[in-house]
Structure 1
Amino acid sequence: MPGPLGFALVTDAPLDVNEHVAAVSTPASGAVVTFIGQVRDHDPDAAGRVTGLDYSAHPDAGRIIGEIAGRVRAQHPLVTLCVSHRIGHLDVGDLALVAAVSSAHRAVAFAACEALVEAVKAEVPIWKKQYEADGAHTWVGLT
């Protein structure tokens, strides 16, 4: 039996991994795969140590993340999935992206989770302004 689409959000609220896992967990779930993208203290685009960042999004970002989730769900009809991307100010260690996918079997869940995360990163119009320890900042994802 095909699983449902959980939720797909762009939000300024802190992300909760357990909420994502609960949203995709069903009695038929033999595998639950999660992806957690968190703010790190370095980046190839930064000259120094990253201390935090601000994510901003196009007004259509919520619609687009929903379309991506629906598309991935259509390509992997035996999964249940959800995904959220945070916007606003995040400190090092904060969660920026959480995806969860469940299926009866792990290979299907892994494949769908990878497709979901890669599409969100490539297609959702979200940009980040990185702050460095010396006070410098860099915009990433504007092109």
Structure 2
Amino acid sequence: MKFADFHNGQVIEAGPYAITEAEVLQFANAYDPQWFHTDAAAAAEGPFGGLIASGWHTCGIAMRLVAKAALEGSESFASPGLAYVKWPNPVRPGDTLRLVADVIEVRLSEKRPTLGILRWRWRLFNQRELMVLELEATSLFKLEA
């Protein structure tokens, strides 16, 4: 999508994305090697009753879905960051995730009129409709003069 295609109140949906145990283990071993992400036997005895995906892995899945659904082919070039990120429920191997992105604000920069600014809320839901991720992101778009 191009920056001009976004508008306040717009809802963008993407997915599904099925997550496997092998993927959970691979990501966790590389980037978040905590026992509840990497050791299925220990995790079964832990507070979540089984292996769970890293929250950072969950963010990466959301990014992939957003990139494919909305940012591919756009003028998007960066993000100054997130207002917040929450993981209200764990992601487990075998879950199927879907993304809902709500456009909060679309505007041009007051100082740089060739800079488009998009604020949006991303939510990931599993197959039971439990929210597993919520964040608010800002995306920047380089526009033609």
TM-score of the superposed pair, with normalisation by structure 2: 0.31
The structure whose Rg is larger is: 2
Larger RCO: 1 or 2 (CA < 8 Å, sep 6+): 1
